[in-house]
């Protein structure tokens, strides 16, 4: 199973389908074939492993299939993995995680009905850790949400004059671009889109577009200019004309988006946090002090320390001279911020008492 999980990691992090690995074993433990799922439309891990074994002339009758996810019982762009295993003569199947997808679940029952021995829950915790964003999306009915902020040591996303390039280092920005290439969608508000004119692309360390480009989602009612960089090269532009964070996630979930990266300004961050829709926070913190300027998160309705939204630290790592703190909220915020005026993007300059600011130092120029 450890090898199956290792193989699963070769599949893409993004996309609607899970990362799955499969190892086929002879009764004496000899490895007969292995495979992984390379993304939507490609053979599933079980089919890839069977094909690899057959290409070497291996007889799979009586073999054991060790799979990181319960074999699917669904016919989509590819046939059901249960049929592949049964027709190959596999006699025993071990899997780590039960498939929660209502369309594909039931594989274990089908295999047992066909006379195969099936054992589930092998290395379940490791399997669930590998599939955490995909499993969350399937189990909760909405995408997994990562909120990214990039601030000075005193929590500012820009100076008082609105300048923000660059608070964090080139290393931190490169790390953020790598993480962009692993998600299905990046979300900002119209305020950010209009004031900063971001491209919201995922780029390599050399500055080129990464192979995978997430959807670029702009939340709010206002239109974008025809010449906006968001209309240029990169992922598909999606305009979510709503002020409701839940509606945004519902629309993206309907598109089989599994992982969303929220990169908007303070008001957008507060809207998702206040609605209890943030699953993980990535906070890049630079050893810089500004003393004034906009903060990373807008009003959460917290009036006393007892109402604070507390988070549990998952990891802390240095990225160049900066620090990346990864944490998960422990409970929803006490109340949802006021949604009366463009709650999911930053306000226009006319709404501000200080000059408009960007989404933070991660925004590309």
pLDDT recorded at residue 357: 33
Query: Tell me: domain 142-351, CATH 3.90.1150.10, correct?
Result: no
pLDDT band at 191 (very low <50, low <70, confident <90, very high): confident
User: Would you say residue 345 has pLDDT above 50?
Assistant: no
pLDDT of residue 120: 95
Given this model, what pLDDT does residue 104 score? 67
Q: What is the DSSP string of 152-183?
A: -TTSBSS-TTS--TTSS-HHHHHHHHHHHTTS
Is 24 or 41 the better-scoring residue by pLDDT?
24
229 or 337, which is more confident?
229
More confident residue, 292 or 337: 292
Q: How far is CA 94 from CA 25, 55, 117, in A?
A: 11, 23, 8
pLDDT, mean of residues 100-125: 91
User: What does pLDDT average to over the chain?
Assistant: 88
Question: What distance in Å separates the CA atoms of residue 283 and residue 166, rounded to the nearest whole number?
Answer: 15
Please give the Cα distance from 360 to 340 (Å, whole number): 24
Provide the CATH number for the domain formed by 2-136 in this structure.
3.40.140.10
Q: Is the peptide bond before 192 cis (omega within 30 degrees of 0)?
A: no
User: Residue 259: pLDDT band by 50, 70, 90 thresholds?
Assistant: very high
Instruction: Give 214-232 pLDDT, tens digit per residue.
Output: 999 999 999 999 999 999 9
The pLDDT of residue 73: 87
Query: Does residue 36 contact residue 62 with C-beta atoms inside 8 Å?
Result: no
- What pLDDT is stored for residue 255 in this prediction? 95
DSSP 43-73: PPHHHHHHHHHHHTT---TT-EEEEEEPPP-
Among the listed ranges 55-69, 113-127, 185-199, 349-363, which one has the minimum average pLDDT value? 349-363
The pLDDT value recorded for residue 358 is: 38
- Closest alpha carbon to 144 in 7, 271, 281: 281
Helix H or strand E encompassing 189: strand 185-189
Paired tokens of 246:
């839940």
Distance CA(265)–CA(39), nearest Å, equals: 32
User: Among this protein's residues, is 280 annotated catalytic?
Assistant: no
CA–CA distance, 227 with 338 (Å, rounded to integer) = 31
Q: Which residues pair with 31 in a beta bridge?
A: 25
pLDDT of residue 365: 31
Q: In what order do the strands lie in the sheet with 117-119?
A: 31-36, 21-25, 64-69, 92-97, 117-119
- Residues 240-263, mean pLDDT to the nearest whole number: 95
| pLDDT at position 331 | 63
| pLDDT tens by residue, 347-365 | 222 222 222 333 343 333 3
The pLDDT value recorded for residue 142 is: 96
Q: Which residues contact 2 (CB under 8 A, 6 or more apart)?
A: 123, 126
What's the confidence (pLDDT) of residue 211? 93
pLDDT for 105: 74
Residue-range domain boundaries for the chain: 2-136, 142-351
* pLDDT at residue 101, rounded to an integer: 82
Q: How far is CA 264 from CA 114, 168, 196, 362, in A?
A: 51, 17, 11, 11
What tokens were used for 51?
């094909």
Residue 349 and residue 355 in contact, taking contact as beta carbons nearer than 8 Å = yes
* Pairing status of strand 185-189 against strand 259-262: parallel
The active-site residue out of 46, 70, 280, 342 is 46
Mean pLDDT of 65-86: 89
How far apart (Å, rounded) are the C-alpha atoms in residues 202 and 239? 19
SS3 assignment for 210-269: CCCCCEEEEECCCCCCCCCHHHCCCCCEEEECCCCHHHHHHHHHHCCCCEEEECCCHHHH
Q: Rounded to whole angstroms, what are the CA distances from 33 to 40, 91, 173, 207, 246?
A: 21, 15, 40, 39, 44
- 69 with 18: CB under 8 angstroms? yes
In the predicted structure, residue 245 carries a pLDDT above the cut 60: yes
> What is the per-residue pLDDT across 145-170, written as a single tens digit (0 to 9) for each?
999 999 999 999 988 888 888 899 99
């Amino acid at each position: 199973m450890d090898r199956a999980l290792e193989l699963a990691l070769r599949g893409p992090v993004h996309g609607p389908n899970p990362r799955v690995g499969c190892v086929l074993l002879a009764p004496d433990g000899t490895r007969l074939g292995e495979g992984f799922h390379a993304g939507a439309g490609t053979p599933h891990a079980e089919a890839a492993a069977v094909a690899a074994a057959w290409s070497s002339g291996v007889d799979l009758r009586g073999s054991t299939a060790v799979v990181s996810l319960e074999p699917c019982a669904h016919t989509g762009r590819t046939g059901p993995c249960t049929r592949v295993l049964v027709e190959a003569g596999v006699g025993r199947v071990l899997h780590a995680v039960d498939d929660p997808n209502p369309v594909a679940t039931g594989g274990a029952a089908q295999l047992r009905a066909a006379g195969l021995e099936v054992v589930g829950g092998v290395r379940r915790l490791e399997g669930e850790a590998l599939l955490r964003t995909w499993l969350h999306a399937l189990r909760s009915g909405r995408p997994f949400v990562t909120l990214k902020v990039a601030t000075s040591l005193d929590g500012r996303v820009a100076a008082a004059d609105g300048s923000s390039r660059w608070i964090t280092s080139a290393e931190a920005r490169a790390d953020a671009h790598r993480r962009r290439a692993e998600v299905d969608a990046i979300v900002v508000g119209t305020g950010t889109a209009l004031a900063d004119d971001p491209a919201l692309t995922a780029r390599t360390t050399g500055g080129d577009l990464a192979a995978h480009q997430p959807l670029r989602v702009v939340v709010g009612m206002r239109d974008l200019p025809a010449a906006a960089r968001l209309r240029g090269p990169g992922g598909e532009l999606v305009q979510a004309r709503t002020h409701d964070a839940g509606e945004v996630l519902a629309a993206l979930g309907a598109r089989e988006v599994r992982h969303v990266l929220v990169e908007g300004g303070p008001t957008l961050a507060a809207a998702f946090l206040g609605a209890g829709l943030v699953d993980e926070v990535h906070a890049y913190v630079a050893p810089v002090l500004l003393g004034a300027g906009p903060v990373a998160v807008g009003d959460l309705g917290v009036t006393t320390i007892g109402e604070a939204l507390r988070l549990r630290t998952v990891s802390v790592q240095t990225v160049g001279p900066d620090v990346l703190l990864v944490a998960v909220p422990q409970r929803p915020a006490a109340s949802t911020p006021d949604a009366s005026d463009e709650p999911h993007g930053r306000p226009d300059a006319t709404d501000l008492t200080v000059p408009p600011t960007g989404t933070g130092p991660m925004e590309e120029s």
